[in-house]
Amino acid sequence: MIMTVRYFAGARVAAGVGDERFTVSSEATVHDVLRMVEERHGADMTRVLPACSLLLDGVAVRDTGVPVRDGVELDVLPPFAGG
């Protein structure tokens, strides 16, 4: 299965890209994808991720045990400042 991870603000800086695709197994969860993201992008991303909100196809994810499906988008959103 192929899915897209999109990064915003500080997560984009940590990743060095705005979005990328991952090939995941049919049993993959959001947690599994986040581990792949950390492995690919290292310590900077490991520091950023705990503060991030996650959206899976536009729906907030609080339980990272949620399974992912082929073609979904996972948005990684650090806290934003401003008004």
Question: How does pLDDT run across 8-29, given as a tens digit for each residue?
Answer: 999 999 999 999 999 999 999 9
How far, CA to CA in Å, does 39 sit from each of 42, 54, 71, 79? 6, 18, 21, 22
Prediction pTM value? 0.92
Q: Residue 72 above 80 pLDDT? A: yes
Note the pLDDT tens digit of each residue in 25-68: 999 999 999 999 999 999 999 999 999 999 999 999 999 999 99
Q: Distance between alpha carbon 21 and the CA centroid of its chain, in Å?
A: 11
User: If you search the block for the tokens 């503060």, which residue do you land on?
Assistant: 51
- Domains of the chain, CATH where assigned: 2-77 (3.10.20.30)
C-alpha to C-alpha distance for 45 and 10, rounded to whole angstroms: 9
Looking at residue 82, what is its pLDDT?
56
Looking at residue 81, what is its pLDDT?
55
